[in-house]
Chains A and B, each alone.
Chain A
Amino acid sequence: MPVAAGLCCKPGGFHIDPVRSVERAIITHGHSDHARAGHGAVLATQETLDMMRLRYGDNFAGSTQAVRYGEEIRLGDVTVKFHPAGHVLGSAQIAVSCRDLCIVASGDYKDARDPTCAPFELVPCDVFITEATFGLPVFRHGDAADEVKKLLASVALFPERAHLVGAYSLGKAQRVIALLREAGYDAPIYLHGAMEKITRYYESRGVALGELRPVRGMKKAELAGTITLAPPTATSDIWTRRFPDPVTAFASGWMRVRARARQRGVELPLVISDHADWDGLTATIGATGAGEVWVTHGQEDALVHWCKSKGLAARPLDLVGYGDEEETEVVLEGEEGGA
């Protein structure tokens, strides 16, 4: 049931992705709006726990318990099972079963291919709790590989310029790198200081990303014709002056809408999203067989309307505190790639 702290399961005695400190929390994935520090006990996948440790330090929770995909855990009167959500490395949907009722809290998810994490698993259920970040029919994300081709075509056309790709540092950046490698790009890829730690962590979990170099300390001229990944907020400030006539790209589902891209001064929008698009949301909702849908964050109204038009019971949960991670990632102005 939704409460102020987030999603709460009373018979199981736990919250899912709570935004306030609670006794027992189940965390779906490592993005900061879902994974916060200061809970008593935390249950999550090993990767999510590791990412929280990277961000918050060793004492981010009273105790932790790593849960594998498919593993069944008994908590109070309910059983809990983790399933891959396909959002980022370690992301999970949480299936909560109590007697003959099964509720799936999907966290953030996508049904599109991603070489850096386990693919989304469809979990049949009675109640499906879904996000709605891209819950409007204008959001259709297409094949990410085509967007990467667009980036490479631009690099070929402008060999004297640097290409600066804004990408959220947990998940999106590594996915873009992996897609570049799949497209045959084997030159070194440069990283903003803020992405180094998490990217190295991905590599340590067996995600092959090719040769990566810190951009820090590079001479301007040496960066001509190269690709650098940076947090979205870094691509429009002083930090960019180290690059020769940079082409500013941004890998995000929001890039589907021109006004959003223009607002951010993006010159090369790349429609690459780690959230399900409209077709993904509606197809998934239908396929779960759920008769009831709860919509958490994003464009709830449109998705709720769609569910009702298909004869499904649906309601928005009006949870606060979750957002689009790209909008909330802040890199300080003075952070010249050192962090």
Chain B
Amino acid sequence: MNRFAELLDRLAYEPGRNNKLKLLTAYLRDTEDPDRGYALAALTGALSFKHAKPGLIRDLIIERTDPVLFGFSYDYVGDLSETVALMWPKVALAGHNNPPPPTLTEVVTTLRTLGKTELPAQLARWLDELDETGRWALLKLVTGAMRIGISARLAKTAAAALGDKDPHEIELMWPGLAPPYLDLFAWLEARAEKPVNRDPAPFRPVMLAHAIEDADFGNLDPADFIAEWKWDGIRVQAVSGRDEHGRLQVRLYSRSGEDITRSFPDLLPSLHLPGAIDGELLVLRDGRVQTFNVLQQRLNRKVVSPKLMKDYPIHLRAYDLLGDDENDLRELPFEERRAHLESFIKKLADPRIDLSPTVPFTDWAALTAARADPAGAGAGLDAEAVEGVMLKRRDAPYLPGRPKGQWWKWKRDPHIIDAVLMYAQRGHGKRSSYYSDYTFGVWTNGESGDELVPVGKAYFGFTDEELLQIDRFVRRNTTEKFGPVRHVVHEPDQGLVLEVAFEGLARSPRHKSGVAMRFPRINRLRWDKPPREADRLETLERMLKSETANQVPPA
């Protein structure tokens, strides 16, 4: 447990993805079975036991320490688990040698079967035996609050690195594996054959598209391609398959292979035929696709209430078929898979699942026109949820990863505004010596004339050279410092104008300006422009109105 705790501790402080990966891989390499398997389960969210309530932890510490001192300490530290971990009194166990601290395996397997009434005493025994970091990790684990910035995908990638394997391979077999994953590690260390995924509804690694550049069109023949709308939703794989008893198992996967079935119970009955659909998850109201902002209400939910399902009806728009019953279709050319898909969707005959329409075009000019005006080119009232077009080679098989020249995405041009840099903050990790997080604002009518109101934050989009330039500007034009935040000069004639690109707008009561941007980034530095010429809040409000013109409120 102490070794696992050290890992969590270190991961919690490490900002860099590659460095996290290195820490994880080193841990998995140096730790024995079955401890490392349970660690992998903990990091991928695959452990299940009833979590302890904070009240229980509080009772344990109050019994053992001076409540006044506990109060001072909790005030200072600000986190219950950490306070308890740090101030848990040392106990001298008289009469025998100290028992070794519990292993992660012992903790996990005990918690699985432990009755509710036995939990406090067991927890106290473990806390007696562990060190500060060990206690902290234990309390985070048992309260289910292990937020350390690690995705399940990253943990699996680290495991794959043990045997120089592609993380996709692990993703593929993952649904068939169970903690502590002895067979997985045996395969990764070349001690055994690859575990067979007996899962009746396995994930298949997804095929991704390249962003198309203007120069690419010259080398492409329009006749080789089929075009579709690019929907602004969530890419999913919906898989149904029969288990050994002939029962239909249904699963929904994210594009990285994460099982998200539990978040969308309302879609599962619709997937009543065995097959594997590649498509886009959307919210539809009155048959109209809602924007991503609306869909967002359904994402990352552990508990899905009936009201949520009613107000945000989920829908699957299908664009590919990877498997039809027992048949793997991935080797077939796209055009043939599309034919299979069309008949599959017809057979399903379910209102929650429909076909993503193709966009007819004969030359690039026609497609350019369609992309510029999706409403007039067949997308109709759904046009607001279109974020561009997809181009797929008619003869392309379904290949995992991002193969060259097969699929292209041609995104709609982003929205652009000119905003003024107002505050800058230091970045993390590699960027910790640079002011790389920027808050920018636009003009609005204030009480005493025009004033800037913050409308967003961006921390990428610029080149390394531009970062150096902005950093220098921030340091030389700081008007005030508040901890890590610097106020940067922003007067009508003094300041830096940033051209900001973003994908969409939403109303937000949490922002002073009342609007929130989606995916904002720095597009260009406008050294040439005085701040007085930057955009006004009214411009954003107009954009917002046209964005939401076709939205339907929840029934």
Interface residues of A (CB under 8 A from B): 136-140, 142, 150, 154, 157-158, 236-241, 245, 248, 256-259, 261-262, 265-269, 299, 301-302, 305-306, 309, 333
CB atoms of A137 and B73 under 8 A apart: yes
Distance from B21 Cβ to chain A, minimum over Cβ atoms (Å): 12
Partner of A259, one of B26, B72, B78, B131: B78
Q: Which residues of B contact A259 (CB under 8 A)?
A: 77-79
Q: Which residues of B contact A306 (CB under 8 A)?
A: 66, 69
The CA of A256 and the CA of B72, in the complex, are separated in Å by: 16
The reply to whether the CB of B430 lies closer than 8 angstroms to some CB of chain A is yes
**Assuming A136-B76, A137-B69, A258-B12, is B433 touching A238 (CB within 8 A)?**
yes
Task: Tell me whether chain B's interface is mostly helix, strand or loop, or mixed.
Answer: helix
**Assuming A138-B77, A268-B13, is B69 touching A258 (CB within 8 A)?**
no
**A267 to B, closest residue via Cβ:** B13
Give B64-83 interface residues, CB cut-off 8 Å to A.
Answer: 65-66, 68-69, 72-73, 76-79, 82-83
CB atoms of B87 and A261 under 8 A apart: no
The reply to whether the CB of B199 lies closer than 8 angstroms to some CB of chain A is no
**A156 to B, closest residue via Cβ:** B26
Partner of B72, one of A158, A237, A239, A301: A301
CB atoms of A138 and B79 under 8 A apart: no
The CA of A300 and the CA of B76, in the complex, are separated in Å by: 13
Q: Which residues of A contact B12 (CB under 8 A)?
A: 258
Q: Which residues of A contact B79 (CB under 8 A)?
A: 258-259
Q: Convert B1-35 into 0s and 1s, putting 1 for each residue whose CB lies closer than 8 angstroms to a CB of A.
A: 00000100010111110010011001000000000
CB atoms of B86 and A256 under 8 A apart: yes
**B429 to A, closest residue via Cβ:** A267
Q: Which residues of A contact B430 (CB under 8 A)?
A: 245
The reply to whether the CB of B311 lies closer than 8 angstroms to some CB of chain A is no
Q: Which of A158, A239, A265, A268 has the most CB of B within 10 A?
A: A265
The reply to whether the CB of B426 lies closer than 8 angstroms to some CB of chain A is yes
Q: Which residues of A contact B484 (CB under 8 A)?
A: 265
Give 30 A-B contacts (CB < 8 Å), ordered by A residue: A136-B72, A136-B87, A137-B65, A137-B69, A137-B87, A138-B73, A138-B82, A139-B86, A140-B132, A142-B131, A142-B132, A157-B22, A158-B22, A237-B433, A240-B432, A257-B76, A259-B78, A259-B79, A265-B426, A265-B484, A266-B13, A267-B13, A267-B14, A268-B10, A302-B69, A302-B72, A302-B73, A305-B66, A306-B66, A309-B66
**Assuming A137-B87, A158-B19, is B82 touching A258 (CB within 8 A)?**
yes
Q: Which residues of A contact B433 (CB under 8 A)?
A: 236-241
The CA of A240 and the CA of B426, in the complex, are separated in Å by: 13
CB atoms of A138 and B13 under 8 A apart: no
Q: Convert B299-326 into 0s and 1s, putting 1 for each residue whose CB lies closer than 8 angstroms to a CB of A.
A: 0000000000000000000000000000
**Assuming A138-B83, A142-B132, A157-B26, is B68 touching A305 (CB within 8 A)?**
yes
Q: Which residues of B contact A240 (CB under 8 A)?
A: 432-433
The reply to whether the CB of B272 lies closer than 8 angstroms to some CB of chain A is no
The CA of A316 and the CA of B12, in the complex, are separated in Å by: 37
Distance from B48 Cβ to chain A, minimum over Cβ atoms (Å): 27
The CA of A237 and the CA of B427, in the complex, are separated in Å by: 11
Q: Convert B462-501 into 0s and 1s, putting 1 for each residue whose CB lies closer than 8 angstroms to a CB of A.
A: 0000000000000100000000100000000000000000
The reply to whether the CB of B428 lies closer than 8 angstroms to some CB of chain A is yes
**B87 to A, closest residue via Cβ:** A137
Distance from B18 Cβ to chain A, minimum over Cβ atoms (Å): 9
The CA of A239 and the CA of B23, in the complex, are separated in Å by: 26
The CA of A236 and the CA of B76, in the complex, are separated in Å by: 24
Distance from A336 Cβ to chain B, minimum over Cβ atoms (Å): 12
Distance from B517 Cβ to chain A, minimum over Cβ atoms (Å): 26
The CA of A160 and the CA of B11, in the complex, are separated in Å by: 18
Distance from A123 Cβ to chain B, minimum over Cβ atoms (Å): 26
**Assuming A236-B433, A240-B433, is B426 touching A299 (CB within 8 A)?**
no
**A139 to B, closest residue via Cβ:** B86
Distance from B140 Cβ to chain A, minimum over Cβ atoms (Å): 11
The CA of A22 and the CA of B348, in the complex, are separated in Å by: 92
Q: Which of A236, A238, A257, A259 has the most CB of B within 10 A?
A: A257
CB atoms of B66 and A138 under 8 A apart: no
The CA of A267 and the CA of B72, in the complex, are separated in Å by: 27
Distance from A269 Cβ to chain B, minimum over Cβ atoms (Å): 7
The CA of A137 and the CA of B428, in the complex, are separated in Å by: 31
CB atoms of B13 and A262 under 8 A apart: yes
Distance from B127 Cβ to chain A, minimum over Cβ atoms (Å): 14
CB atoms of B428 and A265 under 8 A apart: yes
The CA of A136 and the CA of B78, in the complex, are separated in Å by: 13
- In addition to A140-B86, A267-B429, 7 A-B residue pairs with Cβ atoms within 8 Å of each other are A138-B86, A150-B6, A236-B432, A248-B432, A256-B86, A258-B79, A305-B69
The CA of A231 and the CA of B92, in the complex, are separated in Å by: 39
**B84 to A, closest residue via Cβ:** A138
Q: Convert B240-258 into 0s and 1s, putting 1 for each residue whose CB lies closer than 8 angstroms to a CB of A.
A: 0000000000000000000
The CA of A138 and the CA of B75, in the complex, are separated in Å by: 11
The CA of A177 and the CA of B6, in the complex, are separated in Å by: 23
CB atoms of B13 and A136 under 8 A apart: no
Q: Which residues of A contact B68 (CB under 8 A)?
A: 302, 305
Give B430-447 interface residues, CB cut-off 8 Å to A.
Answer: 430, 432-433
CB atoms of B132 and A136 under 8 A apart: no
Give B36-68 interface residues, CB cut-off 8 Å to A.
Answer: 65-66, 68
CB atoms of A257 and B13 under 8 A apart: no
Q: Which residues of B contact A139 (CB under 8 A)?
A: 86
CB atoms of B76 and A157 under 8 A apart: no
The CA of A30 and the CA of B554, in the complex, are separated in Å by: 69
**B78 to A, closest residue via Cβ:** A259
CB atoms of A136 and B22 under 8 A apart: no
Q: Which residues of A contact B19 (CB under 8 A)?
A: 158
The CA of A157 and the CA of B66, in the complex, are separated in Å by: 41
Distance from A273 Cβ to chain B, minimum over Cβ atoms (Å): 14
Q: Which residues of B contact A258 (CB under 8 A)?
A: 12, 79, 82
The CA of A261 and the CA of B79, in the complex, are separated in Å by: 14
Q: Which residues of B contact A299 (CB under 8 A)?
A: 72, 76
The CA of A333 and the CA of B481, in the complex, are separated in Å by: 14
Q: Which residues of B contact A157 (CB under 8 A)?
A: 22-23, 26
**A271 to B, closest residue via Cβ:** B132
**Assuming A237-B433, A267-B14, is B66 touching A136 (CB within 8 A)?**
no
Partner of B73, one of A136, A150, A158, A309: A136
Distance from B155 Cβ to chain A, minimum over Cβ atoms (Å): 17
The CA of A299 and the CA of B16, in the complex, are separated in Å by: 35
The CA of A154 and the CA of B104, in the complex, are separated in Å by: 23
The CA of A301 and the CA of B77, in the complex, are separated in Å by: 16
Q: Which residues of B contact A248 (CB under 8 A)?
A: 432
Distance from A103 Cβ to chain B, minimum over Cβ atoms (Å): 26
The CA of A299 and the CA of B83, in the complex, are separated in Å by: 16
The CA of A158 and the CA of B76, in the complex, are separated in Å by: 33
Distance from A67 Cβ to chain B, minimum over Cβ atoms (Å): 37
**A258 to B, closest residue via Cβ:** B82
Distance from A239 Cβ to chain B, minimum over Cβ atoms (Å): 8
